Chains A and B, each alone.
Chain A
Amino acid sequence: MHHEGSIFSILAVFSLLSILAVGGGTAVLPEMKKLTTEEHHWLTQDDFRDVYSIGQIAPGPNMLMVILIGYKVAGVPGGLVAFFGFFAPCALIAWGTSRVWDHFESNPWRLSVQRGMAPLVVGLMIAGIIAIGRTAILGWETIVLAVLVFVTLFYGGKRINPAYLVLMGAVAGMIFLR
């Protein structure tokens, strides 16, 4: 399914998401899901959950799973274009802005932007959780699993490495969700 022109669609979708990722990776999930599953039909909702889960297993920046969406649409070139499309524009913005940042240091609006954007970003992140939840919460087993992980992390504090809980989720899935 190597469509003509799909490389450009991948580039357009992911570079747009890159620039819109004001609240980071989770905040851009609903838009990514909408664009890739509903508008372009590159993958199903279940595919999206699986691909997101694969991304959760890998180390480093979240959202490296965009590579797999690109790969599914247009092979290795698609994967590379999705990767650079999603990670390069915001990296270039960060690179350019950090060099002129000091000019804004004393601007009183800087704090207003920070303060006003904080709740917006929290709202976007919760929307991201809802987007993943709609595909990942499939019945009581998944609810129990999500609640267990939440309680362990939220009340267990920083002593627990989330990676163990992700792996525990994989094992629990193999036992209870077959």
Chain B
Amino acid sequence: MSKSRKTLTVYGAVSASVEEVSAHETAALRAKRVPYWEIFWTFLVIGATSFGGGVVAYLRNSLVSQKSWLDDEQFMAALEISQALPGLNATNMAVIVGDRLRGPMGAALGFLGMTLPGATLVFILGFVYGKNPHNTYINAALKGVGAASVGLLSAVTLQIGHKQMEHILDLGIVVVTIYLVSFAHVSLLIVLLTVGPVAILLYRPRPSLEFKAGDQGTDRKPAD
């Protein structure tokens, strides 16, 4: 494509060609083989700086914006896999992206980098807590963090969950799930095996059922 033609193409075509270039660059980067230490270091930095839950924003900033290991579309595809499977987004994404970059070794290094800083700090804090079981200040601080966490979790859950509060069918599934887990104390395995298939069947593929664009690619594990 010549330079003059490129400037004249409509927006869609330009963005398509930009996408081609970025996909190319990612392939080139992969061909260059990202060194193991860089995978480990990148996830270590994310693991050490992503405070307060919501690792996805940190992941996108680092992997897409800074490192260009993935373009936005590849990032959303990896996130979709991560959301659909059990486990936390943070570690699932580290494993999926690490594997794409350098196979099983890359996955293992991404996983370790992601978890090492937080695990170390949790261990140190837990040790201090365990050694001072009757320290009024530590106990009071943890009560404060506990209460703040309730507010934090409520805010992030409502931010992504408000869509599920609008449709009567969704709201029904939400309410039944809360009742079973929190008040009837039914085990999670049973809830997943009963409510899960029913919910999926209610949304079974039908020509009449249209999916909104917003239903895909949103962060459904925001507190991870």
Contacts and interface: CB of A to CB of B under 8 A. Distances in A.
A72 B129 CA distance: 11
A176 B95 CA distance: 42
Interface size class of B (residues with CB under 8 A): 35 or more
Contacts of B99: 95, 98-99
Interface in A61-80: 61-65, 67-68, 71-72, 79
A119 B164 contact: yes
Interface residues of B, dominant DSSP: helix
Interface string B104-142: 100100010011011101110110011000001101111
Given A94-B87, A120-B196, A169 B147 contact: yes
Contacts of B216: 111, 114
B91 A87 contact: yes
Interface residues of A, dominant DSSP: helix
B125 A94 contact: no
Contact of B143 (A25, A101, A136, A153): A136
A25 B220 CA distance: 11
A27 B84 CA distance: 14
A24 B126 CA distance: 23
Interface of B: 46-55, 57, 78, 80-82, 84-92, 95-96, 99-100, 104, 107, 111, 114-115, 117-119, 121-123, 125-126, 129-130, 136-137, 139-161, 163-164, 169-171, 173-178, 181-182, 185, 187-189, 191-192, 195-196, 199-205, 211, 215-216, 220-221, 223-224
28 contacts: A25-B88, A26-B153, A59-B50, A61-B91, A64-B118, A94-B96, A98-B78, A99-B99, A111-B203, A112-B201, A115-B211, A122-B160, A122-B170, A124-B191, A126-B161, A127-B182, A132-B150, A136-B150, A142-B146, A146-B154, A149-B151, A150-B150, A151-B151, A153-B151, A154-B159, A163-B52, A170-B148, A176-B144
Given A60-B117, A90-B87, A94-B96, 18 more contacts: A18-B86, A59-B47, A64-B115, A90-B85, A91-B107, A93-B85, A94-B91, A94-B95, A97-B85, A109-B205, A115-B211, A116-B202, A124-B188, A136-B143, A136-B147, A137-B150, A148-B151, A162-B54
